[in-house]
Amino acid sequence: MYDAAPPHPLLRQEVAMLRARESRRVFDTAVHVGRPAGARDSFVVRAMHLPAMDPSLRTDVVEELVSRTAADHTSVWLTRPGEPYPHDLDLAWLAAATLAFGVHGRPLEGFWTITRAGWLDVRTGENRVWKRLRA
């Protein structure tokens, strides 16, 4: 589990990792369950499948990821194109994550959106944006 302090350095590292592996402006969204900048299980949602991702399917996806991860991996984050500002997609996945973690009786300690520009804590609205990130 995380300490009381938010994992800002780990989120910054996630942004750097996304920038290193993804140079395109538009890419597929992925949902991750685990620890930022650490162990995780992921699911990539192809752009052509986004219209089919209804609330039930999103919940099923997150629930399966939660069932595969260790009990102390209690965070979810999305990697998506765009800016790290609230988006309907973020809120839809937050609802799915909250339900999936509840089904497993596990706390959801963090839910973030990671983009090439920065990160967003979807639950609090806190974010960080960089033009040039030095990792």
Q: Is the pLDDT of residue 2 over 60?
A: no
Position 134 scores a pLDDT of 63
The answer to whether 84 and 125 have CB atoms below 8 angstroms apart is no
* Residue 131 pLDDT greater than 80, yes or no: no
Q: How far is the C-alpha of 101 from the C-alpha of 80, rounded, in Å?
A: 22
Record: fold of 8-123 = Cytidine Deaminase; domain 2 (3.40.140)
Q: How far apart are CA 119 and CA 90, in angstroms?
A: 12
The percent of residues above 70 in pLDDT, for the chain, comes to 93
Q: Does 9 have pLDDT greater than 50? A: yes
Q: Over the stretch 50-99, which tens digit does the pLDDT of each residue have?
A: 888 999 999 999 999 999 998 888 899 999 999 999 999 999 999 999 99
The answer, as to whether pTM is greater than 0.85, is yes
Tokens of 8: 């800002």
Buried (b) or exposed (e) across 34-65, using 16+ Cβ within 10 A? bbbbeebbeeebeeeeeeebeeeebbebbbeb
The tokens for 55 are 């609330």
Query: Average model confidence (pLDDT) for the chain?
Result: 90
